[in-house]
Amino acid sequence: MERLGRALPPGIVAESWEISAHPDGVSVICNGPLAGLTLPEVLEGNGEDVLGRDVDPVFREKFPLLVKLIDAQQPLSVQVHPDDHFARTYEGETYGKTEMWYIMAAEPEAEIICGLLPGVTADRFAAALAEGTLETCLYFRKVSVGDVILIPAGTVHGLGKGIVLAEIQQNSNVTYRVYDYRRKDGDGRERLLHIDKAMRVINFSPADPACFSHPEPEATAPGQAKAVVAKTPYFTVELMIGEGAWTECADGSRFILYTFIAGTANIDYDGGGLRVDIPESLLIPAALGEYTLKGSFKALKTYVS
C-alpha cells in the first residue's frame, strides 16, 4: 500500500477504500469547489447532478457502489456476503454484496478461493468446519495479473497471500467469516466467526467457471481498446487501455467511476483539469459533460447497470 502512495496508520492495513459513501469509511473530495466535503455531504445537495437522472431513486438515499484496493500479504479470511434481501431483513442494510476483483499484482503461485467443489452440500460443509478440514470443500484457483473474478453474493471466497487487487462492489460492509486460520487479534482472542448466518446465505452450487476471465480489450479507435469485464445487475465494469487522448461524455444520465491501475493520465473538462496518480479513482458526476482522458493508461470504468 505504501508503494502505491498511501499514507498508512499504525498496524496491519489490508484495504484502502478509494470511493466510498459507507459510514464505516467515507471518501473526502480532494479537488474543486467541493474539496473537503465528504461524498455523502455532496450527494445531499447535488444528488441528481452527481448521480444522474436515470438512476434508481434509492441511490440518492444511499450511494450504490464502493471501490477498494486490497493488499493481501497473508491469506485473508474465508467468507461470504449476503444478497440484498438478506442484508435488508437481518442486517438493516440497503444492499447486499456482489463484488468483482481485478488482479493488479500477484506473486508466483498466488491463488484465491472462489466457490465450492462439486458435491459439497450444506451438511458436508458444516462437518468440514467442525473437523477443521474446510479446505477439502473449497475451489482454489491460481491467479495472475489481469485476471478478473466475479463474486456474486452467496459465493464462499478468500484471498491467498501475495495479491494486490482492485475491488468493485455494492456499497455494503456485511461480511460473514467462516474460517480465519485461527488467527488472534491484538488482545489474543480469535476473531469472531459468523457460521450461523453464513450457512443461511451460502450458495452450495459448484464454482461457476464463467466467474473467471482474463479479458483482452479490443481496439475501438486508434490508441483505444476496451472490453466489458463484468456485468451484474448492480454494476458494469469495462477495462480501458488508452494511448493519447480519449474523449467521453457524461450526458446527465448516470455517474461514472474510474480506477486507474497502470500508466499515467490527466483528465480535462470544461472549467478545469486534474492529474491522476496511479492507482487513484475518480467519480465523474453525471452532469459534467464532455471530458478527455490523456496519457498512456489502463483503467477500470464502472457504472450502474
Q: List residues with catalytic annotation.
A: 177
Angle at 242 between CA 237 and CA 248, to 5 degrees: 65
Find out whether 51 and 254 touch, Cβ atoms under 8 Å.
yes
Q: How far is 51 from 127, CA to CA, in rounded Å?
A: 46
Task: Report the amino acid identity of residue 217.
Answer: P
Distances in Å between the Cα of 285 and the Cα atoms of 45, 60, 104, 249, 290 are 13, 13, 26, 10, 11
Angle at 94 between CA 92 and CA 95, to 5 degrees: 115
Cell digits of residue 224:
483505444
Q: How far is 170 from 234, CA to CA, in rounded Å?
A: 7
Find out whether 97 and 87 touch, Cβ atoms under 8 Å.
yes
Find out whether 267 and 291 touch, Cβ atoms under 8 Å.
yes
Tell which residue, 173, 187, 242, 151, has the closest CA to residue 17: 173
Cell digits of residue 125:
460443509
